Structure 1
Amino acid sequence: MDFLPVLENKRVLLQPLQTSHKEVLLPLALEPSLWEVGMSQLTDDASLEKYIQVALTERAAKTAIPFVVFDKKENRIAGSTRYAAITLPHKRLEIGSTWITPSLQGSGLNKAMKFAMLQHAFEVMDMNRVELKTDELNTQSRNAILSIGCTQEGILRRHMITSTGRVRNTVYFSIVKEEWLAVKQRIFDKYDF
């Protein structure tokens, strides 16, 4: 399996995250609103460097594929995302750790990015299941996940402890292989990605 794929459509280019992306990501990562309801808080150069190193370590362990997000319409780096919790024996992975500069939230970039990732996961990687999860308090993320055709499966109570020490409930969503074609047609065919 390729752990350095490049995913692309008309709107977005997802390239393998590298240490060299730190400088261009830093001004985006320092936006406090990105971390109000998240597991991480990137507040300085050192926290972003650690975040990138963890992602690269997970890629080396073949449990994650982190990307830098390039918005082709705006011609600029917009944030980061990744395949995570890759479990090849069960043909399952998670799409997560997604953050996009607030100025591009709601612009269609996230939908284009998720389409590229879902399409690659099901049609190239031959996954049986793609999971997404978010904080129960993150209404914006929950609505975005539902808007790409995911099914909410449940809420895991007191599931994780955030970087601020808050114990969060986690909402789980998924799309399974047998649903992908219908989701692709129903949700994504109306877009020109």
Structure 2
Amino acid sequence: MKEWYGVLADHKISLLPITGAHIKEMRKLSSDADVWTWYTEDLTNPDALERWMTNRLEETERGKMMTYTVQLKETEDIIGATSYGHIDWEEKCIEIGWTWLSKQYIGAGINKHMKFLMLQHAFEKMNIERLELRTDERNVRSRKAMEKIGATYDGTLRNHRSTQGNRRRDTVVYSILKSEWIEIKGTIFKDF
């Protein structure tokens, strides 16, 4: 897996493999509750965010995930995180998720850059056949973002996971197949 886990970058952002130094830097990004509304955990407390990021780092080191911090090239500021997870090398399936951005960058086009880099890497370098994206069924913003990048709605996993406030969520599943990537890249991401 390590051969696939390096810096992904375009003219706007860099996705940097997570390190312990990033975790400490990201503590300052936790304070806005709006960022965590649809997250399975409330990470408004800097210590909670640090624990969450430490878990992502450990899962990455064990080969369960590949977590990246999102760096804005213009300022070199770390502004969020995203991961590949549920990696199945035998079946060539992977999920993109665990994504969040600092509030000022939500809706600013950064997510589309992140997804382009990750989709391109998954399909063109890692030889993935199926890529999944998941979110809380009630998270309309995230669902629309998935649809905007060409993902197809596959279904809903009912009562799938626990989330904030001792609630169980229904999880919607979207996917993009390798056979769809060339058209998506040439249309939705034609300017990238």
TM tier, smaller: over 0.9
> 2:44, 2:105 → 1: CA distance?
20
Q: Does 1:182 align with 2:183?
A: yes
Q: Does 1:72 align with 2:73?
A: yes
Unaligned regions of 5+ residues in structure 1, if any? none
> 2:120, 2:129 → 1: CA distance?
12
Partner of 2:85: 84
Count how many residue pairs are aligned between Structure 1 and Structure 2: 191
Once the two structures are overlaid, the 10-residue window that deviates more, 83-92 or 38-47, is 38-47
- Whether the aligned pair in 2 keeps the contact of 1:14 and 1:70 (CA below 8 Å) is yes
Partner of 1:141: 142
Q: Deviations over 1:125-159 (max 9, x none)?
A: 00011100000111111111111110011111111
Query: Which amino acid is the alignment partner of residue 122 of structure 2?
Result: A
Q: Does 1:128 align with 2:150?
A: no
> 1:151, 1:26 → 2: CA distance?
34
Segments ≥4 residues shifted beyond 6 Å: none
Partner of 1:116: 117
Query: Which amino acid is the alignment partner of residue 82 of structure 2?
Result: T
> 2:11, 2:25 → 1: CA distance?
22
Aligned-pair identity in percent equals 38
Q: CA deviation at 1:92?
A: 0.8
- Whether the aligned pair in 2 keeps the contact of 1:3 and 1:62 (CA below 8 Å) is no
| TM-score, structure 2 normalization | 0.94
* Secondary structure of 2:26's aligned partner: helix
Mapping of 1:168-179 within 5 angstroms? 168-179=169-180
Q: Does 1:159 align with 2:160?
A: yes
Query: Which amino acid is the alignment partner of residue 151 of structure 1?
Result: T
- Whether the aligned pair in 2 keeps the contact of 1:133 and 1:170 (CA below 8 Å) is yes
* Secondary structure of 1:164's aligned partner: helix
Q: CA deviation at 1:3?
A: 5.2
Q: Deviations over 1:71-120 (max 9, x none)?
A: 22454211000111111111111000000011111111110110000000
> 1:74, 1:154 → 2: CA distance?
39
Query: Which amino acid is the alignment partner of residue 161 of structure 2?
Result: M
> 1:130, 1:63 → 2: CA distance?
16
Q: Deviations over 1:143-185 (max 9, x none)?
A: 1111111001111111111142111000000001111101111
Unaligned regions of 5+ residues in structure 2, if any? none
| TM-score, structure 1 normalization | 0.94
> 1:67, 1:26 → 2: CA distance?
15
CA RMSD of aligned residues (A): 1.3
Query: Which amino acid is the alignment partner of residue 117 of structure 1?
Result: M
- Whether the aligned pair in 2 keeps the contact of 1:32 and 1:43 (CA below 8 Å) is yes
- Whether the aligned pair in 1 keeps the contact of 2:23 and 2:54 (CA below 8 Å) is no
- Whether the aligned pair in 2 keeps the contact of 1:63 and 1:87 (CA below 8 Å) is no
* Secondary structure of 1:137's aligned partner: coil
- Whether the aligned pair in 2 keeps the contact of 1:67 and 1:80 (CA below 8 Å) is yes
| Pair 43,106 (structure 1): closer, same or farther in 2 beyond 3 Å | closer
